Amino acid sequence: MLDATRHPDPSRPDPSLPEAPPVPATREADVSPSSVSTAQIMGILRLAALTAAAGFVVYLFSHEVLLLFFAVLLGCSLRGAADTTSRILHVPAGLMLAVISLSIVAIFGGGLWYIGPSLVHQGSDLIGKMTGEFDTLSQRYGDTSWGHTIKQHMSGSMPSAGQVTAPAFKVAGLTLGVFADLILVLITALYLAISPELYQRGMLRLIAIRHRPRALEIMRAVGRILRRWLLGQLIDMVVVGVTTAVGLSLLHVPVPLALGVLAGLMTFVPYFGAALAGIPAVLVAATVGADTALYAAGVFVLCHFIEGYVLSPLVQRRLVELPPALTLLSLAAAGAVLGPLGIVMGTPLAAAAMVAIREGYVVEILGDTEAHDEA
């Protein structure tokens, strides 16, 4: 027999109870972006003040900051190579770091021992030939109207015989300064590669605790992009240097080895480096003949074609994607604000800043997770 007492249906309202008042709709103005708390405004102002202060410090100590960034670039690359090879060979990363560092020293030392005397001799010949070529151009075109005008403008800036000693000491001091900076960068990079966690923890101490895990991810993403950029740039430098040296040697241009090394080193600066390296090559080739100078210019055009249309699609764009306009603007801005060293380090600075802005601002603050997925 069924129970006469039935349980009330919860889906039906009880007529004995009064109706609940209607819930007012949330106004759009209550959740609009204008309803920002005072704490958020103060946080934004503090961040802007810290950014401005950091920019001012970087401007005041631009040379030291760029040297430190160069050391970070090399240190990240050394540590990345050591970690990768240690995972493949199943050996400690510290051992692989020592092997890689000693191998680099041995390769450069052996290369300088083998081609160093020839390189120094060809470099001296290069300076002498460029000086002689300038004298030849002056004698050939000095009697023309435009040549006479150029000589008048240059005569006031040429030093006298008694003024040569001081600039010579300045050049010697500048050379010693460059070598000292290079040694400092290499030692700092080695220390950074040996114990990167120590310096990462020091940087994280400056960040709020709740943001430290995400900050560590951003730091590692910046390190990865720097390693990829340097790897692609080293490949470009080797290919351009070898291609230039071989091409100029086939044309019987004097000092092809020195010109090839110069072209490879100058390729570290995208777009402008290889073009500037072509100027002394064409001048030296002009001592052989006008046709040789034209062919030497063709060698550099070929190198630009290989670097821009073969290496960049196959190597650089697979490792790191930098828009050409952003690269040019970063070089111009870094050169104007930070000087010649800023031009050299402008592209890796732009790559690191692009990753930091994407991960720290676009993803974290704006909430655009698609930008993280596309990376």
Distance CA 262, CA 237 (A): 10
Global pTM reads: 0.71
pLDDT at 122: 65
For residues 98 and 173, the model is more confident at 98
**Interval 320-365: pLDDT, tens:** 777 778 888 888 888 888 888 888 898 899 889 888 888 887 887 7
Of residues 224 and 310, more confidence is placed in: 224
**3-state DSSP assignment of residue 39:** helix
Read out DSSP for 252-297? T-SSHHHHHHHHHHHTTSTTHHHHHHHHHHHHHHHTT-HHHHHHHH
**pLDDT (tens digit per residue) in 105-159:** 888 777 777 766 766 676 666 666 666 666 666 666 666 666 666 656 555 444 4
Per-residue confidence (pLDDT) for residue 347, from 0 to 100: 87
Query: 206: helix, coil or strand?
Result: coil
With cut-offs at 50, 70 and 90, classify the pLDDT of residue 375: low
**214 contacts 257 by C-beta, under 8 angstroms:** no
Residue 191 is predicted with a pLDDT of 93
Tokens 């008694």, located at residue? 162
Query: Mean pLDDT in the chain?
Result: 77
Distance CA 25, CA 229 (A): 53
Q: Using CB atoms within 10 Å of the CB of residue 100, give its burial: 0 to 12 exposed, 13 to 18 middle, 19+ buried.
A: middle
Which of 117-121, 235-239, 302-306 reaches the highest mean pLDDT? 235-239
- Angle of the 212-250 helix axis to the 290-306 helix axis, nearest 10: 150
Closest CA to 75 of 215, 207, 188, 201: 188
